[in-house]
Structure 1
Amino acid sequence: MIPLIVLLGLCLPIITLCYFTRCLISPWGTCIRCRPGGKNRTCRACDGTGMRPRLGWQLYTYARRLHRNGTR
Structure 2
Amino acid sequence: MPTTPATAISTAATHGSGLAATVHTAGQVATVALIVTVCIAFYLLSCAVWPFGKCRRCKGVGKFKSPFGNAFRHCGRCDGSGLRVRFGRKVISYYRRTRSLGSNSTSKADKK
Short-chain TM bin: 0.7 to 0.9
Counterpart pick for 1:38 among 61, 64, 67 = 61
1:53 lines up with 2:85 in the alignment:
yes
Over the matched positions of the two proteins, sequence identity in percent amounts to 30
CA contact (8 A) 1:23 1:56 kept: yes
Counting helix residues as a fraction of each chain, which structure ranks higher?
A: 1
* 1:64 aligns to 2:64 (yes or no): no
Structure 1: gaps spanning 5 or more residues? none
Q: What's the TM-score once normalised by structure 1's chain length?
A: 0.73
Pair member with larger Rg: 2
4+ runs deviating over 3 angstroms: 3-7
Contact kept, 8 Å, 1:28 with 1:52, in 2: the verdict is: yes
Q: TM-score normalised to the size of structure 2?
A: 0.51
Alignment RMSD (CA, Å):
2.2
- Unaligned 5+ residue runs, structure 2? 1-21, 64-73, 104-108
